[in-house]
């Protein structure tokens, strides 16, 4: 990777103009700004596309409604110039050093292929915010790593080298709007891809997913449908056995420590 990697941030969005405005303002205030911001307008009927253009983002249109079709369209566009493809959602509020943290991590470790972090929920009650952080996202990281051997790639807060997406773009179930895109991506990854979880890489996100029982239940059920759609690739016994060095690194990271929007998935 060059000393100054080209960073593209992809934001899939459907009818989320109000949240998007604050998200793009936070990206504009980064200490190390992204080179490209790609807003994938998922057939919105509100002003999402106009908001993105006002902030200078590249706007793409994806008519197939669903977070996977929209996200994949953005990743494909990012391949044209990016070394690092970062991802957040319209209701994300990246801290000012978010992009800088990503660049430092990838520059310092050539074996790092995917870097993901955790969440800081806002907009809910203190209990909802804590449950979202510790149970919803934190529990996902814990159980997925136990099953797959690698951390869950959290869709609102991660980055990957462009070559990772180039290899997986035709393997993921990118046209399936009824599954968790980030979990499906995680299932296709292997320990040798250099997947890391950094507990210090935090992303403020809306508490909307955990504010209603029906919304939370729907997202939990989609974990099952995502594994079913990818089976048997998501079977633990089909995962590659990590080397001794990979196992040591994974253990060390483990000690440290919707999906995002209601418009997706109905």
Domains annotated on the chain, with CATH: 7-255 (3.90.550.10)
Task: Give the pLDDT mean for 145-166.
Answer: 94
Whether 72 has a pLDDT exceeding 50, the answer reads: yes
Lookup result for tokens 């994938």:
40
Rounded (5°) CA angle 109-113-118? 95
pTM of the model: 0.84
pLDDT digits (tens, 9 = 90+) for 3-17: 689 999 999 999 999
Residue 202: CB atoms within 10 A of its CB come to: 17
Task: Give the pLDDT mean for 204-225.
Answer: 72
Position 146 scores a pLDDT of 83
CB 88 within 8 A of CB 9: yes
Separation CA 193–CA 185 (nearest Å): 12
Joined tokens for residue 191: 């320990």
Task: Give the pLDDT mean for 38-60.
Answer: 97
Task: Give the pLDDT mean for 95-101.
Answer: 98
Confidence grade of residue 193 (pLDDT, cut at 50, 70, 90): very high
Q: Name residue 204's beta-bridge partners.
A: 120
- Which helix or strand (DSSP H or E) is residue 165 part of? helix 162-168
Joined tokens for residue 30: 């980064």
Task: Report CA Rg, the chain.
Answer: 17
Position 67 scores a pLDDT of 94
Separation CA 126–CA 224 (nearest Å): 28
Whether 260 has a pLDDT exceeding 90, the answer reads: no
Whether 211 has a pLDDT exceeding 60, the answer reads: no
CB 205 within 8 A of CB 121: yes
Highest average pLDDT, of 109-118, 202-211, 246-255, comes from 109-118
Confidence grade of residue 253 (pLDDT, cut at 50, 70, 90): very low
């Amino acid at each position: 990777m060059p000393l100054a990697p080209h960073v593209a941030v992809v934001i899939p969005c459907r009818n989320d103009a109000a949240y998007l405005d604050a998200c793009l303002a936070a990206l504009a205030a980064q200490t190390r700004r992204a080179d490209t911001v790609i807003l994938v307008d998922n057939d919105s009927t509100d002003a999402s596309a106009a908001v993105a253009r006002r902030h200078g983002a590249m706007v793409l249109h994806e008519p197939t409604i669903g977070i996977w079709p929209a996200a994949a369209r953005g990743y494909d566009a990012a391949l044209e110039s990016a070394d690092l493809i970062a991802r957040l959602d319209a209701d994300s509020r990246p801290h000012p050093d978010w992009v800088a943290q990503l660049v430092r991590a990838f520059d310092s470790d050539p074996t790092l292929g995917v870097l993901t972090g955790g969440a800081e929920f806002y907009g809910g009650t203190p209990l909802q915010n804590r449950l979202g952080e510790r149970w919803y996202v934190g529990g996902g990281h814990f159980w997925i790593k136990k099953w797959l051997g690698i951390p869950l790639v959290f869709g609102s807060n991660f980055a990957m080298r462009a070559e990772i997406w180039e290899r997986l773009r035709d393997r993921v179930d990118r046209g399936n709007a009824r599954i968790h895109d980030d979990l499906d991506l995680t299932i296709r990854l292997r320990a040798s891809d250099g997947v890391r979880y950094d507990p210090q890489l935090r992303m403020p996100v809306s508490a909307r997913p955990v504010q209603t029982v029906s919304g939370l239940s729907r997202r939990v059920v989609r974990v099952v449908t995502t594994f079913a759609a990818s089976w048997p690739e998501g079977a633990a016994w089909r995962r590659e056995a990590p080397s001794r060095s990979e196992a040591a690194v994974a253990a060390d990271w483990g000690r440290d420590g919707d999906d995002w929007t209601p418009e997706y998935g109905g």
